[in-house]
Amino acid sequence: MQYLQHLPKRLSESPSLRDTVALFCSVLGDYRRGREATEFLLLPSYGKALNSLRRAIKTGQGLKIETLASIMMLERTESVFDRGRDTICLRHTEAIATMIQKIGPPKADDQLHLGLVSDSYGTLAVHFLKTGQDNFLSQDPWKGIIEENISTLLENKEAQPHLKRLLALCNEGFGNLPKLVRRCQMVHFGPRDSEAAEKAAQLMSNLADMEGALELAYLELFEKTADLGLICDRIDPNSITRSSYELSSVYLAQFLVSSLGLQLYMLRMLYDCSIVYNPDGTPDLYARLTELCVKVWKYGPYLKSLEACVASSTLSNILPTLNLQT
């Protein structure tokens, strides 16, 4: 949530943003104090935040940057602190995607708008994957803006080119993912004939190329940041992997875990296709999937040390590893 630092000076411009920030601070404070969670529908501050947001939209402020910030704060607050209301969060995410596209690319001098667009990238990538919609953030001009902004979050300038290279591949991968999933479904549920086998072979080749490029870019960034002392592998007897990663930057952890998550999606589709069309390669692919899961788990102890609202952004990349290993 890199945009938080830019909120204070914009609060006076939007009652909706003030009320949503007040809700966020209230539930975060209760969480930190260890208080029992209260259902959001029973919180007066939640009702106030919703009413303020409705008023903002009804009075023609729906495409203001502050209203976008308000909805994004509300989505993050509900998804982290009021779990189980997926339908509500889905509506927030759909609104975020629509607003970002209608407002247009951020101006270089609007750090709040830039931060909101960059922060929404991970959430919207998963949303577009679930809905099958095209990911406009992986296209120009959004693509270049997001890659440039996110790469600067890693303060070490020696590592930034490696991060930017990985971001470009992730952007391309997330942009292609909905189409790849549809192609994978056609392979599984379509007829089993020579034409289907040819399509499956082409799909598997595409997946292998993209997964291999992601792995190489990940390793380059990991090795560079390890050389710079930004990440290290420590013995950890309390971890199921017996060692875990210590990192100097939360952004670096999020980037690396996200890229592993995308690599996992690619490798899992490749594995599933191989069961039908290349069974001889299935054992090796399963072994690679297992190794990838272990890599993700080694970030677990560090992620657990973060604020819930920050660590939760990596859940979509961690949960598939649990499903694979059960």
* CA–CA distance, 78 with 92 (Å, rounded to integer): 10
Average pLDDT, the chain: 85
Give the tokens for residue 33: 């104090």
Claim to verify: residue 125 and residue 250 sit in the same structural domain: no
pLDDT tens, position by position, 58-78: 888 888 999 999 998 888 888
Residue 322, Cβ density class (10 Å: 0-12 exposed, 13-18 middle, ≥19 buried): exposed
pLDDT tens, position by position, 270-314: 998 888 888 888 899 999 999 999 899 999 888 888 776 676 767
Claim to verify: residue 202 and residue 319 sit in the same structural domain: yes
Claim to verify: residue 86 and residue 211 sit in the same structural domain: no
Claim to verify: residue 175 and residue 278 sit in the same structural domain: yes
Report residue 18's pLDDT band, with 50, 70 and 90 as the boundaries: very high
Claim to verify: residue 137 and residue 169 sit in the same structural domain: no
Q: Please give the share of the chain, as a percent, with pLDDT higher than 90.
A: 23
Q: Which domain holds residue 106?
A: 2-151
The answer to whether the beta carbons of residues 231 and 252 sit under 8 Å apart is: yes
Residue-level pLDDT at 176: 85
pLDDT value at 129 more than 80: no
User: Looking up tokens 């709040």, which residue turns up?
Assistant: 112
Report residue 86's pLDDT band, with 50, 70 and 90 as the boundaries: low
DSSP 283: H
Q: Identify the residue with better confidence: 77 or 162.
A: 162
